[in-house]
Amino acid sequence: MLTLALPKGRLAEESIELMLERGWLSGRPDPDSKELIYKDPKGKVRILLVRSQDVATYVEQNSADAGIVGWDVLLEGGYDLLLPLDLAIGKCRLSVAGPKGWSLSSGERKVRVATKYPNIAKDFFLKKGINCEVIKLYGSIELAPLVGLSDCIVDLVSTGGTLRANNLEEIEVIMESTARLVFNRSALYTKRAEVGEFLDSFALTEKQL
C-alpha cells in the first residue's frame, strides 16, 4: 500500500478526482469526517490530509511515500525529493501585489514585503536590484499593506477576487505553479512495484525521475 500526502482544500479535491479516474480510489473520503487519515477500501492507497506547506516534509521524512504538492512550495523549501512530475492541476501563479497605484518603481529605498514565501520573494527582488525587507506571515497576507505592515505582498493568485475585494492589484507575476507528484528516495526501492504501478497509471515511467 502506498501512503500519499495530500494538501487540504481545493488541491486535495482535484487530486482525489485524478486518482478516481486512474483507479486508485474506489470512492471519495467523507467530506464531513474530521479524520486526517483515509484508507481506501481497495487497499491500494492510504491518504494523509495535511497543510499544503507540510506535504513535502511528510514525504521527505518518509512518513509518506509520495505526495502531491504545488511547485511554489517545492521551490520555496528546497526539499530532497525525487524530481517532481507535473500533474497539470492546481494551476495558479505567485505574484507581487499591492495597493492600487503602487509599483515596483515607487521610489522606496527599502520595500517591505509580506509573504509566506520569503526565499522566493528575496530572490525575486534581489534580481530586480531592489532592497527589500521580508515580513513572513502565515495567513491573511492581503491585510498587511492595508494596515501599513508592508508596502506589497507576494502571494498565490488564482482568480484575483481576494485582491480586488481588498483594493489590491496584481503587479507582476513571479512564477506559474501547478501541482507536482513527488516521491521520497526510499519509496522507489522499498515499494518499487507499487511506485511503478502508480507511475504507469499516470502514463509516466521511472526514467522520467
pLDDT score of 203: 65
| Pairing state between β 66-70 and 85-86 | unpaired
Q: What value does the mean pLDDT of the chain take?
A: 88
CATH tag, 2-91+177-204: 3.40.190.10
> What 3-state DSSP class applies to 99?
strand
Predicted pLDDT at 150: 96
Which has the closest alpha carbon to 126: 110, 114, 142, 138? 110
pLDDT at 12: 87
Please name the residue that has the C-alpha cell 527582488. Answer: 125
pLDDT tens, 56-100? 999 999 999 999 999 999 999 989 998 768 889 989 999 999 999
Please, which residues have CB within 8 angstroms of residue 99's CB and are 6 or more apart in sequence?
A: 145, 146, 167, 168, 169
> Residue 134 is placed in which grid cell?
521580508
CATH number of 92-176: 3.40.190.10
Look at residue 66 in the predicted model and tell me its pLDDT: 93
67, three cell numbers: 505526495
State residue 105's pLDDT score. 79
**pLDDT number for residue 106:** 65
Residue given cell 509518506 in the structure block: 64
Residue-level pLDDT at 206: 43
- Alpha carbon separation from 16 to 37, 86, 108, 123, 169 (Å, rounded): 14, 16, 45, 34, 32
Q: pLDDT tens digits, the chain, 209 residues: what are they?
A: 899 999 988 888 899 998 898 888 888 887 777 878 988 887 788 999 999 889 999 999 999 999 999 999 999 998 999 876 888 998 999 999 999 988 887 666 789 999 999 999 999 999 999 999 999 998 899 999 999 999 999 999 988 888 999 999 999 999 999 999 999 989 888 888 888 888 888 765 444 44
- Note the pLDDT of residue 22: 86
CATH 3.40.190.10 domain residues, the chain: 2-91+177-204, 92-176
β partners of residue 175: 94
CA 167 from centroid of its chain's CA atoms: 25
